[in-house]
Amino acid sequence: MKQKKKFNTRRLGIMIFIIIMLSIVLWQIMVNRTETQTATKVTVNDSFMANGWFFRNEVVVQGTTGDTVKHIVQGGEKVQKNAALAIVYANANALESSQKISVLDDQIELLENTAQMITTGSDTVKIESMITSKIVEISSQMQQSTVSGIQSGVNEFRNLCLRRAIDTVDKEVLLNQAQSLKSERNYLEQQIGNSSMTIASPASGFFSEIVDGFETQLTISTLDNMTAEELENLDSSKINSASSDTLGKIVQDFRWYFAMSVPKEKIEDLSVGDSLLLRFAQVSSDIQVSVYDIHKQKNQENALLIVSGMEITPEILSMRYQSVEVIKKIYTGIQVPKSAVRIQTDSEGNNTQGVFILPDSISRFKPIEVLYEYGDYYIVKQGTTTQNTGLVVGDKIIVKGRDLEDLKVVK
């Protein structure tokens, strides 16, 4: 019995020794294992989020809104002072007659233009080619859900079809039809009589249907002495929708201003005149602006950043208080983990920052030029394949390895 016990104890000791040795070998393999990451090209924004207010010189258009108002201009359109913005009709019948007159005017113009083309003649082959092109254009717009431009395209298509049929149409017949429609239009105009009122623009500028109640408060002149604290105290809950006694407003200037209260450290690198991009959720593309002014107060964590822009769209004209991404710069390059960056020292003692790559079984050192730092990564300048300089897309960056050297065999 004693011999069997000695045998078991010895065997257990051997097994423990083997396990320890295997663990050491596996640990060495894990520690010395070389890991790589494929170099990819990325685009990163140096930006920050902020809330801000639009400041503009605006004039409210007094009038009325309702079922009997016919708008002549739409949001975003440029208008001159005293130009007609809308017509208010006394009742629904008068509005309906006005809408019929608009249709008749379109038909009369079309008939008279067609009659004129009969006199001047037409090129049938050229017109047929234009009709085909217009069909393709309208079809493409419909597939892309592009609403703007379709109406004008349809009108052009209709005119081309009429021009193609000119040879089979009698000019006198067209003119007689136009005259008949004019008589019908005159009758409808008499029916309307004096039961309408025109609302004219009080100033030149851009029309917007949105009136929010801040038109007289957030003017451009109020920006000169405004502080970040004063901007923060503005109450966005007091923004009102258009009331029934206002038709809209006229934004008088091409240039508008957007003011934000932001932490000072986020704009330490900004100066008046610098170009920025604003990214709003409601606008399809970034808006280019420039830094108009920066107001800083002692003992205040935030500063007032004021930017100005000139892009005019219905969406921009309707906005007042908005969240925005302020993009200071856009960087495009190769993404490199910070853990992969090494310092290479040459024979003269000069240090060069770079990374090791593994094109095959031999490591190679490539210098890098850091463009931007974010999180655990750098964005570095992309090299050129033809000149074999810098990192390029597809390089295998060594992110984990020991005793790395240039032109060293990596097992």
Give 16's contacts (C-beta < 8 A, 6+ positions apart): none
From 72, 133, 70, select the one nearest 96 (Cα to Cα).
70
**Cα gap 134→212, rounded to integer Å:** 42
Indicate the domain borders of the chain: 35-44+334-409, 48-57+210-331, 91-194
Q: Which amino acid is residue 234, in one-letter code? A: L
Tell me if the pTM is above 0.85: no
Q: Do 218 and 319 meet the contact criterion of CB atoms below 8 Å apart?
A: no
∠ CA 217-222-225, nearest 5°, is: 140
**Cα gap 53→261, rounded to integer Å:** 10
Q: Which top CATH class is 35-44+334-409?
A: mainly beta
Buried b (16+ CB within 10 A) or exposed e, 290-307: ebbebbeeeeeebbbbbb
Q: Which top CATH class is 48-57+210-331?
A: mainly beta
Along the 411 residues of the chain, how does pLDDT read in single tens digits? 445 555 567 677 767 767 777 665 555 544 456 788 888 999 999 999 999 999 999 999 987 666 677 788 888 899 999 999 988 876 677 777 777 877 888 888 877 777 776 655 556 667 677 777 777 776 766 665 444 455 566 667 766 676 666 555 677 777 888 888 888 888 777 767 666 778 899 999 999 989 999 999 999 999 999 999 999 999 998 888 655 678 899 999 999 999 999 999 999 999 999 999 999 998 989 999 999 999 999 889 999 999 999 999 989 999 999 999 999 999 999 999 998 888 888 778 888 888 888 887 788 888 899 999 988 999 999 987 655 568 888 888 888 776 676 666 666
